């Protein structure tokens, strides 16, 4: 049984065909690892392509004589389309599933990359950035739904494997930009449109699987289910989950965006040394993402969220006072433990609001994009005003918000 089955009661609110199929597949089918691997691979390609945008800002600034305000507007355009559209896409596809929307969504990314490569004006750069964001806004909620459908009941494992692809993509995107785009110039961005084409082909095959399983689900009896919680409690729980995500992503962005500067400033490291330690941290994040989901499947999501958010507090409080060796060790633990929370949070939300898989995925992924971009800018201003070390003193208290986990309902856990 799934994590929330002990709290679900038969009600009149119907589940859409895709979510009925998803629930049937989750409870009765086997885990379809090739499909999960396919969407994880495409998640890698998607996040690799979108992370390149910020990496080529210095080149675009020079080529188009842009101000920092214009660079900020590029980021805003991308974030609006990539973040705020995701819940809307989730709502639409919850009501009317579109198996091939993933491939068509990736076509937006393909067009956006071509535009970034050959745009002759700033306004076309803005349009191209918006198209890349639109591709991402379609990809995340629907691919999260597909991962859930293919989970065979191992919901956390499926979400973890799906999300770790994005982790790797975000890590390698700036590296590829540095070694390929910067030396070759703006037009070389078009090279990566090939990655979008590959993703489109893979996602078309995924769409075939999605469509066939939807037809199979339509032949089954539609299950009418709902969580046995008052509406107010559901809304409070969602607010707590969003607050916990705020704590997690603001702290994580303090490391992903400013860790190298911190190491250089405090310990006098060279840039290559600092970059190596950043990738050590990102590797720990990837490992935590992979393991967080299946651990939640086994012991329950709430316990993973407890230990991930609040459990990391002693390490974050110690970090500002640590020497170099302990700094490396602490950031590895912090990255691993904090990263384990997100798969558990996404699945918890989807189990809390059955029949709204796309909405919850779009809301959580969209919020994570938006808060990460906003926090990076805000923490940069704090670092300018008070120094980079103050950022880590300030952020070290964020895991205290993990105490709010006490307000999460007990949705049960998968049996071992």
Residues 6+ apart with CB under 8 A from 214: 17, 18, 21, 97, 99
- Domain membership of residue 365 (yes or no) is yes
Percent of the chain topping pLDDT 90:
27
Q: Of 225, 245, 269, which closes a domain?
A: 225
Residues 6+ apart with CB under 8 A from 259: 274, 277, 278, 281, 331
Judgement on whether residues 189 and 293 belong to the same structural domain of the protein: no
Judgement on whether residues 283 and 396 belong to the same structural domain of the protein: yes
pLDDT of 396 above 90: yes
What does the alpha-carbon distance between residue 354 and residue 14 come to, in Å, rounded to a whole number?
10
Q: Helix, strand or coil for residue 10?
A: strand
- For the chain, give the mean pLDDT: 82
Contact 167, 285 (CB under 8 A): yes
Q: Of 165, 200, 225, which closes a domain?
A: 225
- 176: pLDDT confidence band, cut at 50, 70 and 90? confident
Judgement on whether residues 243 and 295 belong to the same structural domain of the protein: yes
Which residue is listed with tokens 């379609």? 138
pLDDT digits (tens, 9 = 90+) for 129-175: 999 989 988 898 888 889 888 988 888 888 888 888 888 887 788 77
Give the residue ranges of DSSP H helices in 300-340.
301-309, 313-318, 324-339
pLDDT of 339 above 80: yes
Residues 6+ apart with CB under 8 A from 108: 131, 132, 134, 135, 138
What does the alpha-carbon distance between residue 83 and residue 133 come to, in Å, rounded to a whole number?
8
Nearest to 252 by CA among 202, 215, 289, 219: 289
Judgement on whether residues 270 and 213 belong to the same structural domain of the protein: no
User: b/e string for 16-34 if b means 16 or more Cβ within 10 A?
Assistant: bbbbbbbbbbbeebebbbe
Judgement on whether residues 270 and 294 belong to the same structural domain of the protein: yes
pLDDT digits (tens, 9 = 90+) for 8-61: 332 333 434 444 444 434 444 688 999 999 999 999 999 888 878 877 877 888
Contact 150, 31 (CB under 8 A): yes
Judgement on whether residues 218 and 231 belong to the same structural domain of the protein: no
Neighbours of 410 (CB within 10 A): 12
Q: 3-class secondary structure for 339-384?
A: HCHHHHHHHHHHHHCCCCHHHHHHHHHHHHHHHHHHHHHHHHHHHH
Q: How far is CA 54 from CA 63, 165, 208, in A?
A: 15, 19, 34
What does the alpha-carbon distance between residue 328 and residue 322 come to, in Å, rounded to a whole number?
9
Judgement on whether residues 217 and 230 belong to the same structural domain of the protein: no
pLDDT digits (tens, 9 = 90+) for 89-127: 888 888 888 888 899 999 999 999 999 999 999 999 999
Neighbours of 138 (CB within 10 A): 27
Contact 66, 191 (CB under 8 A): no
Residue 157 has what pLDDT?
Answer: 86
Residue 344 has what pLDDT?
Answer: 85
Q: How far is CA 337 from CA 28, 169, 219, 287, 414, in A?
A: 31, 20, 42, 9, 21
Structural domain range at position 109: 13-225
E-strand stretches of 43-173: none
Judgement on whether residues 317 and 393 belong to the same structural domain of the protein: yes
Beta bridge partners of 227: 8
Nearest to 227 by CA among 7, 1, 2: 7
- Domain membership of residue 4 (yes or no) is no
CATH code (residue 66): 1.20.1250.20
Judgement on whether residues 265 and 395 belong to the same structural domain of the protein: yes
Averaged pLDDT for residues 374-380: 82
Judgement on whether residues 142 and 165 belong to the same structural domain of the protein: yes
pLDDT digits (tens, 9 = 90+) for 236-276: 999 999 999 899 989 998 888 788 889 988 999 887 788 78
Q: Helix, strand or coil for residue 404?
A: helix
Nearest to 152 by CA among 323, 303, 33, 250: 33
Residue 188 has what pLDDT?
Answer: 87
pLDDT of 332 above 80: yes
């Amino acid at each position: 049984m799934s994590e929330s089955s002990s709290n679900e009661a038969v009600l009149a609110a119907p589940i859409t065909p895709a979510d009925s199929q998803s629930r049937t597949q989750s409870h009765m089918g086997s885990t379809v690892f090739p499909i999960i691997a396919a969407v994880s691979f495409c998640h890698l390609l998607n996040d690799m392509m979108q992370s390149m945008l910020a990496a080529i800002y210095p080149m675009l600034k020079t080529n188009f004589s842009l101000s920092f305000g214009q660079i900020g507007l590029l980021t805003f355009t991308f974030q609006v389309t990539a973040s705020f559209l995701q819940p809307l896409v989730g709502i639409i596809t919850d009501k009317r599933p579109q198996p091939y929307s993933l491939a068509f969504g990736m076509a937006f990314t393909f067009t956006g990359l071509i535009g970034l490569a050959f745009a002759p004006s700033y306004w076309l750069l803005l349009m191209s950035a918006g198209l890349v964001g639109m591709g991402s806004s379609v990809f995340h909620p629907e691919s999260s739904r597909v991962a859930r459908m293919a989970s065979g009941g191992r919901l956390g494992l499926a979400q973890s494997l799906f999300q770790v692809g994005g982790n790797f993509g975000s890590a390698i995107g700036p590296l590829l930009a540095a070694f390929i785009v910067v030396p070759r110039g703006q037009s070389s961005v078009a090279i990566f449109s090939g990655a979008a084409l590959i993703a489109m082909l893979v996602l078309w095959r995924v769409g075939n699987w999605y469509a066939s399983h939807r037809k199979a689900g339509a032949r089954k009896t539609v299950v009418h289910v709902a969580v046995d919680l008052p509406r107010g409690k559901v809304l409070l729980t969602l607010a707590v989950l969003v607050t916990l995500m705020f704590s997690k992503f603001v702290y994580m962005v303090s490391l992903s965006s400013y860790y190298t500067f911190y190491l250089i400033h405090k310990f006098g490291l060279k840039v290559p040394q600092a970059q190596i330690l950043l990738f050590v941290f990102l590797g720990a994040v990837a490992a935590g993402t992979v393991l967080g989901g299946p651990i939640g499947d086994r012991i329950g999501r709430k316990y993973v969220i407890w230990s991930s958010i609040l459990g990391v507090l002693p390490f974050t409080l110690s970090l500002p006072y640590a020497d170099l060796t302990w700094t490396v060790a602490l950031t590895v633990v912090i990255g691993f433990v904090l990263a384990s929370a997100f798969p558990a949070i996404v699945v918890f939300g989807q189990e809390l609001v059955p029949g709204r898989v796309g909405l919850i995925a779009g809301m959580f992924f969209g919020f994570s994009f938006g808060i990460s971009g906003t926090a990076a800018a805000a923490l940069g201003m704090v670092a300018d005003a008070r120094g980079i070390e103050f950022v880590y003193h300030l952020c070290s208290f964020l895991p205290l918000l993990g105490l709010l986990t006490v307000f999460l309902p007990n949705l049960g856990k998968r049996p071992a």
